[in-house]
Amino acid sequence: MGLKKLVKLAAMLAAFVTLEGQMQMSAAKDAADLIVMGRYVVTMDAKGTVIENGAVAIKDGAILAVGPEDDIAAAYDAPETVPAEGRVLMPGFVNGHTHSAMVLFRGMADDLDLMTWLTKYIFPMEGRYVDPDFIRVGSTLACWEMIQGGTTSFVDMYFYPDVIAGVVEQCGLRAVISAPMIDYPSPGFKGWDDSFASGVDFVKRWQGKNGRITPALAPHAPYTVSKEHLAAVAKVAHELHAPISIHIAEDKAELKTIGDKYGITSVDLMQDTGLLDEQVIAAHVVWPTEGDMKKLAGTRVGAIHNPTSNMKTGAGIAPIPAMLKAGVTIGLGTDGAASNNDLDMWEEVRLAALLHKGVATDPTVMPAATALDLGTRMGAKAAGLEGVTGALEPGLRADMIQVSLDSLRLKPLYDVVSHLVYAANSRDVVTSIVDGKLLMKDGKVLTIDEAKLRADIEAVADKIRADLKATAQ
Amino acid sequence: MGLKKLVKLAAMLAAFVTLEGQMQMSAAKDAADLIVMGRYVVTMDAKGTVIENGAVAIKDGAILAVGPEDDIAAAYDAPETVPAEGRVLMPGFVNGHTHSAMVLFRGMADDLDLMTWLTKYIFPMEGRYVDPDFIRVGSTLACWEMIQGGTTSFVDMYFYPDVIAGVVEQCGLRAVISAPMIDYPSPGFKGWDDSFASGVDFVKRWQGKNGRITPALAPHAPYTVSKEHLAAVAKVAHELHAPISIHIAEDKAELKTIGDKYGITSVDLMQDTGLLDEQVIAAHVVWPTEGDMKKLAGTRVGAIHNPTSNMKTGAGIAPIPAMLKAGVTIGLGTDGAASNNDLDMWEEVRLAALLHKGVATDPTVMPAATALDLGTRMGAKAAGLEGVTGALEPGLRADMIQVSLDSLRLKPLYDVVSHLVYAANSRDVVTSIVDGKLLMKDGKVLTIDEAKLRADIEAVADKIRADLKATAQ
């Protein structure tokens, strides 16, 4: 064999090895179900990593990998791809506290003192209209609004939780659904005994049934549920490994009521009843003392900041920077639409970023990235969903949204996180994915029949409008 | 003549008379240029009248009549009609304070202490990039954003006011354009003398030139313009009947500076220099004393509340309910996009409605209708545009917007004013009319070439982005 032939053979061998290698590389691509791309992938991981021209590979509803789009394309094959189209890809928001079906009371009564609002409007209207059909229609509207606005998980506390769970099963969102328990009569119940028993049954019925639905217990508040009953909830929640959703330290009136009754704070009462040892989603926490903050730090209690609702009802302004400094886990929520009047987490994130700077007269107390964290990663932890959702990281469930940067209102762009917090709004969300499944594509919600929903809303609202006219007279 | 014939004749006569009457009615219809309809016409008149199925007739850029659509149709003929399509018709917003071209610095730097923000980013970037082309591009983007978001009038304070006026002439908005004057070097000027002279020339050049453009004088602030110079501005403004735009009592640092220098407040200084006797658009007024409020009441000074900016920069929270109670005229503004980061008056109205309830822990201190008034009717008065715009009333200029109620986020509807303040957002605006001329139809801005604007923005932003990278290193 001459030298030339040898060289030729070597070249052929090298080509074969390279080809083989490429074939092996190709054969070695892992199978994914879906690849989603983003011009900017805002991962909300612990380091706040933002990847330009990135992608996420998804399989069986979970995130397989997050990285530059070229790396993801080289490593994964998927039958479906959602292209970047210049959009942001980020985790969906976690709405840590709402009463979803109350969207049907949106704008029914505003700007009234709390007792007039509750006793003249909310309680009578709930008494007259809240039934399983109201909950079905209201929760469906709420889910439409949350999908459309980029929320992928929510913590709900409202009547007929089985109906809410049915709506959530169908629309595809992730939810912690908590069954209300209260010492007084409420829709469907005479008082504590039956609401408590029903709530415990609800949790047992739904645990393990649907990976997207976490059933929970919801003792309403320290001023509507006795100390003994709170302790009973803590005990059964511990046995069932179920989260608890509750209103805590919402306004000054509660401070006074609990102080007068027990001589302690609502957080002290959580400690005395065993609640501080459980996974608790504590809505509001507007008036914690320094001692309360220390007690909450390091526990599994998440404090849910509802800035719009707390201002609208005149509850006050929670000391969020101090709570974060003390080590309290904070999430964000919209509360029910009757005190908001929408379920728009963009507004809550923006307000969380703005409000505390104004109160402190210090623009450094709440950076944009921190506010966004409260709505996503830390918000997931506050809702008991740490390790499940709230970020784009391998192993987490595939809950994410695409946000269009196309509006001139978002031009020019220097810092994508700044734009998400201070300039974007809910209408910029175009894609929603939960558990790896597309719930919204190009701004159209895929899992809810919008025409039917519109008709259903008006059927309920017609009755309420007639009633309001009579109330006004 | 038999009875039958008589009856027939009488019937014919009656028919003729009726026909004649109809023809006269028809002939008697007044000519209008445009009729605009609304499912709800939120007039923002002094009584807060809301007309269901209403309309506005427009001629020569002014409002001829406002009323039920049937009455308007019976009384006016117009070659063009904008149908209701279920929408709200209302006056456009008056953005009482902005630095429009700063949209090109949107999100460039956030959440920094004031001096770092100003000295490391804003001042150097202004020094390097603010020239007539920057102003043309930035003001055009700002006008696009304001038209798209339902603002029909704005008060601007930024460099190269002739360029701004040129943009406003073309895009069709109404504006008070104020020429900046400052004791220090600024883009285009060495200091006070040339900036003052140039501002006075600008006012003389533009007075009476375009009915939509009011030229004004803008001494920057009490801490950047000497007492003598403020007095000189008051004097020339009085002579020219020109409004003055200025920053007043924005933060605690200003209180201290003015207190140390003069031993009085910034409002006292306005009094001593003659400013309190003029038409002044006073931005911020975050820290007025009770004495200041009394002095401002009954004057032609409008205090412009900029809730987003005041929170974002850590300036504080203006005591708006107390100021209203004292009789101070209040408007709303976005401030420049560098401290907002958009020019969205819906957010300012919503914040004005929410914020003061939270601070006062009282949900009754700022009803939704009052917040909307600050953004429209009273906002117009604060901007020196009373009797010109801010409401839908005969005689005012025809500045109005249509707001779609179609989104499910606005369902159900019980109270349209509540929805405008607490649930709608800028993306719901679909029609904009200023001086009787359509600036936006079905969500598309008609007076600005969007493709060219996009290219122009990126050309400026590319330079700034490269500079920011260098600054960060």
The residues with which A230 forms a beta bridge, in sequence order, are none
Interface contact flag, B415 A367, Cβ < 8 Å: no
Q: What is the pLDDT of residue A115?
A: 85
Minimum Cα–Cα distance from A106: chain B residue: B412
In percent, the amount of chain B with pLDDT more than 70 equals: 94
Q: A interface mutation test: which of B104, B117, B422 has the most A CBs within 10 A?
A: B422
Domains of chain A: 96-384 (3.20.20.140)
Mean pLDDT over each residue of chain A, to the nearest integer: 94
The tokens describing B231, both together, are: 């007095």
Q: Reply yes or no on whether the pLDDT at B9 is more than 80.
A: no
Higher local confidence (pLDDT), B420 or B8: B420
Interface contact flag, B409 A149, Cβ < 8 Å: yes
Q: How far is B45 from chain A (nearest CA, A)?
A: 21
- At residue B4 the predicted structure's pLDDT band, cuts being 50, 70 and 90, is low
Please name the member of B312, B413, B453 whose beta carbon is closest to the beta carbon of A363.
B312
The CB-side HSE value for B150 (13 A sphere, CA atoms) comes to 28
Interface contact flag, B461 A414, Cβ < 8 Å: yes
Q: What is the pLDDT of residue A469?
A: 87
**How far, CA to CA in Å, does B34 sit from each of B26, B52, B66, B81?**
17, 19, 12, 6
**DSSP 8-state assignment for residue B108:** S
pLDDT tens track for B14-32: 444 444 444 444 558 999 9
Contacts of A334 in chain B (CB under 8 A): none
Minimum Cα–Cα distance from A311: chain B residue: B358
The residues with which A98 forms a beta bridge, in sequence order, are A156
Q: What is the mean pLDDT of residues A432-459?
A: 98
Interface contact flag, B412 A106, Cβ < 8 Å: yes
Q: What is the mean pLDDT of residues B420-439?
A: 98
Contacts of B342 in chain A (CB under 8 A): 409, 422-423
Minimum Cα–Cα distance from B317: chain A residue: A358
| B10-14, B237-241, B421-425: segment of lowest average pLDDT | B10-14
Asked if residue A301 lies in contact with residue A343, where contact means CB atoms within 8 angstroms, the answer is no
Q: What is the pLDDT of residue B8?
A: 58
Q: How far is A471 from chain B (nearest CA, A)?
A: 13
CA distance B377 to B213: 19
Interface contact flag, A107 B341, Cβ < 8 Å: no
- At residue A182 the predicted structure's pLDDT band, cuts being 50, 70 and 90, is very high
Interface contact flag, A415 B108, Cβ < 8 Å: yes
Global pTM reads: 0.94
Q: How far is B145 from chain A (nearest CA, A)?
A: 6
Interface contact flag, B363 A313, Cβ < 8 Å: yes
Q: Does the interface ipTM go beyond 0.85?
A: yes
In percent, the amount of chain B with pLDDT more than 90 equals: 91
Q: What is the mean pLDDT of residues B433-439?
A: 98
Q: Reply yes or no on whether the pLDDT at B112 is more than 90.
A: yes
- Amino acid identity for residue B31 in this structure: A
The residues with which B31 forms a beta bridge, in sequence order, are B77
Interface contact flag, A144 B408, Cβ < 8 Å: yes
Q: How far is A353 from chain B (nearest CA, A)?
A: 8
Please name the member of B113, B313, B361 whose beta carbon is closest to the beta carbon of A314.
B361
Please name the member of B144, B252, B425 whose beta carbon is closest to the beta carbon of A361.
B252
Who's near B109: CB < 8 A, 6+ residues apart? Answer: B117, B120, B121, B122, B338
Closest CA to B245 of B181, B191, B293: B181
CA distance A245 to B186: 56
Q: How far is A236 from chain B (nearest CA, A)?
A: 36
* Backbone dihedral angles phi then psi of residue A182, each to the nearest 5 degrees: -155, 150
CA distance A365 to A232: 39
Q: What is the pLDDT of residue A18?
A: 45
CA distance B225 to B213: 25
Size of interface A-B (CB pairs under 8 A): 218
**How far, CA to CA in Å, does A105 sit from each of A117, A123, A248, B288, B461?**
12, 11, 23, 38, 45
Interface contact flag, B361 A461, Cβ < 8 Å: no
Q: B interface mutation test: which of A310, A409, A448, A471 has the most B CBs within 10 A?
A: A409
Please name the member of A110, A347, A363 whose beta carbon is closest to the beta carbon of B313.
A363
Q: B interface mutation test: which of A287, A308, A411 has the most B CBs within 10 A?
A: A411
- At residue B115 the predicted structure's pLDDT band, cuts being 50, 70 and 90, is confident
Asked if residue A134 lies in contact with residue A331, where contact means CB atoms within 8 angstroms, the answer is no
Q: What is the pLDDT of residue A339?
A: 95
Who's near A437: CB < 8 A, 6+ residues apart? Answer: A61, A172
A174-181 and A213-219 as β-strands: parallel, antiparallel, unpaired? parallel
The CB-side HSE value for B346 (13 A sphere, CA atoms) comes to 24
Interface contact flag, A368 B148, Cβ < 8 Å: no
* Backbone dihedral angles phi then psi of residue A366, each to the nearest 5 degrees: -150, 85
CA distance B79 to A213: 58
Q: Where are the alpha helices (DSSP H) in A130-251?
A: 132-148, 161-171, 192-206, 227-240
Q: What is the mean pLDDT of residues A64-77?
A: 98
The string of DSSP codes covering A77-131 is E-SEEE--TT-EEEEPEEEEEE-GGGGGGTTSS-S--HHHIIIIIIHHHHHHH-S
Who's near B371: CB < 8 A, 6+ residues apart? Answer: B349, B350, B352, B353, B421
**How far, CA to CA in Å, does A415 sit from each of A52, A149, A411, A412?**
12, 21, 11, 9
Q: Reply yes or no on whether the pLDDT at A16 is more than 90.
A: no
Give, for A245, the enclosing helix (H) or strand (E): strand A244-248
Asked if residue B341 lies in contact with residue B108, where contact means CB atoms within 8 angstroms, the answer is no
Q: What is the pLDDT of residue B182?
A: 97
Interface contact flag, B364 A317, Cβ < 8 Å: no
Chain center to CA of A349: 12
Who's near A245: CB < 8 A, 6+ residues apart? Answer: A97, A155, A157, A176, A178, A216, A217, A218, A280, A281, A283
Interface contact flag, B361 A252, Cβ < 8 Å: yes
Please name the member of B337, B358, B422 whose beta carbon is closest to the beta carbon of A314.
B358
Q: Reply yes or no on whether the pLDDT at A350 is more than 90.
A: yes
Q: Reply yes or no on whether the pLDDT at A25 is more than 70.
A: no
Q: Reply yes or no on whether the pLDDT at B5 is more than 90.
A: no
Q: What is the pLDDT of residue B17?
A: 45
Q: What is the mean pLDDT of residues A174-201?
A: 97
Terminal CA-CA length for chain A: 109
Terminal CA-CA length for chain B: 109
Who's near A339: CB < 8 A, 6+ residues apart? Answer: A308, A309, A312, A313
Q: Could you list the beta-strand ranges (E) of B260-353.
A: 280-284, 301-305, 329-332
The tokens describing A155, both together, are: 């913590």
Interface contact flag, B342 A458, Cβ < 8 Å: no
Q: How far is B339 from chain A (nearest CA, A)?
A: 9
CA distance B201 to B181: 12
Q: Reply yes or no on whether the pLDDT at A22 is more than 50.
A: no
pLDDT tens track for A127-176: 999 999 999 999 999 999 999 999 999 999 999 999 999 999 999 999 99
The SS3 assignment for B454 reads helix
| A112-116, A209-213, A289-293, A443-447: segment of lowest average pLDDT | A112-116
CA distance B343 to A128: 42
Closest CA to A358 of B109, B318, B122: B318
Interface contact flag, A419 B341, Cβ < 8 Å: yes
Closest CA to A110 of A473, A470, A371, A468: A468
Q: How far is A362 from chain B (nearest CA, A)?
A: 4
Contacts of A113 in chain B (CB under 8 A): 362-364
**In chain B, what's the furthest Cα-to-Cα distance?**
109
CA distance B269 to B222: 8
A372-389 in b/e form (b: 16+ CB < 10 A) is: bbbbbbbbbbbbbbbebb
pLDDT tens track for B39-69: 999 999 999 999 999 999 999 999 999 999 9
**How far, CA to CA in Å, does B58 sit from each of B67, B210, B396?**
12, 19, 10
Higher local confidence (pLDDT), B268 or A469: B268
Cα dihedral sign, A153-A156-A159-A160: positive
Interface contact flag, A361 B411, Cβ < 8 Å: no
Q: How far is B212 from chain A (nearest CA, A)?
A: 24
Q: What is the pLDDT of residue A454?
A: 98
Please name the member of A149, A316, A341 whose beta carbon is closest to the beta carbon of B422.
A341
Q: What is the mean pLDDT of residues B266-288?
A: 98
Who's near A83: CB < 8 A, 6+ residues apart? Answer: A37
- At residue B471 the predicted structure's pLDDT band, cuts being 50, 70 and 90, is confident
Higher local confidence (pLDDT), B382 or B23: B382
Minimum Cα–Cα distance from B343: chain A residue: A409
Interface contact flag, B364 A112, Cβ < 8 Å: yes
Q: Cα-Cα-Cα-Cα dihedral of A76, A78, A83, A84, to 10°? A: -30
CA distance A145 to A429: 11
Q: What is the pLDDT of residue A8?
A: 58
Q: What is the mean pLDDT of residues B193-200?
A: 98
Mean pLDDT over each residue of chain B, to the nearest integer: 94
Cα dihedral sign, A36-A42-A43-A49: positive
